[in-house]
Amino acid sequence: MQNKNNWVALTTIWIKECTRFLRIWVQTLVPPAITMSLYFVIFGSLIGERIGQMDGFSYMEFIVPGLIMMSIITNAYSNVSSSFFSAKFQRNVEELLVAPVPTWIIIAGYVGGGVARAVLIGIIVTIVSLFFVDVQIHHFGIIVLTLLLTASLFATAGLINAIFAKTFDDISVVPTFVLTPLTYLGGVFYSLSLLPEFWQWVSKANPIVYMVNGFRYGFLGVSDVNVQVSLTLLVGFNALLFGVAYYLLDTGKGIRS
């Protein structure tokens, strides 16, 4: 009976989260498609022709996995951070905390919603990319695994951000001053091999480098870092952030006054 109740609670939160972003699809699904189309046109078609090949592939082929991953990271994070903070701001998240629902169910429900939006955005951006380049698939399993682990990682990070946030402005600080710089310096638009050796080592301290390159390996079969290391780091970071989110929700830090 308890397992059945947990399943009902999990699916209820997940469906509520999915309904939320699907109901306003013009704001949640269309903008990433338009933004990525502009990236494909400007960086791929216009600038890419002058750059030439990158790691044996056309520049357009090279940047497609990175652009897809960039949209996945941004949307997984923003979906959960905005949703949970809205529930916190409206004070209805307290109903979840007092309900007989395990903490991990609450986390899984919100993170599952963020992952669903990220996967949907990833599919949309991939379809858009087909209008500009023939997308290759080297290892489908690596693509799916990297996508899910990255989406769940940043969805959980968005949840933690929402827990600590005091105002709506607080949930935009991390995406603006942390995620955006790390993403642009994460090998989306260039190969680390182009950098001097010192800056290659500095770049490898950026966790997004491993996500982008793991995803790129799934498409093209090339990577600036070891793919096994990428997947190991993703699993480790997921476990770490889940533990932090669990502790914060279980103790009510940032929520209970």
Residue 208 CA to residue 16 CA, distance in Å, equals: 29
**In this predicted structure, what is the pLDDT of residue 256?**
62
pLDDT of residue 100: 83
- Per-residue pLDDT reduced to its tens digit, 191-205: 998 889 899 999 999
Average pLDDT, rounded, for the chain: 90
pLDDT of residue 1: 61
Instruction: Describe the crossing of helices 103-129 and 59-89 by its angle, rounded to 10 degrees.
Output: 150
Q: Percentage of residues in the chain with pLDDT exceeding 90?
A: 58
Give the pLDDT of residue 250.
Answer: 87
pTM of the model: 0.92
> Do residues 121 and 72 touch, judged by C-beta distance below 8 A?
yes
DSSP SS3 for 91: coil
Residue 172 confidence (pLDDT): 85
Distance CA 241, CA 73 (A): 15
Measured distance CA(133)–CA(141) in Å, rounded: 21
Could you say which DSSP state residue 106 is in?
A: H
Confidence label for 134 from pLDDT (cuts 50, 70 and 90) = confident
Give residue 257's pLDDT band: very low, low, confident or very high (50, 70, 90).
Answer: low
Question: How buried is residue 119: exposed, middle or buried, by Cβ count under 10 Å (0-12/13-18/19+)?
Answer: middle
% residues pLDDT > 70 (the chain)? 98
Interval 7-64: pLDDT, tens:
998 999 999 999 999 999 999 999 988 998 888 888 767 777 777 788 888 888 999 9
List, for residues 151-190, the tens digit of each pLDDT value.
Answer: 999 999 999 999 998 888 888 888 888 888 999 889 999 9
Q: By C-alpha distance, which of 114, 37, 67, 115 is closest to 219?
A: 67
Asked if pLDDT for residue 110 goes beyond 80, the answer is yes
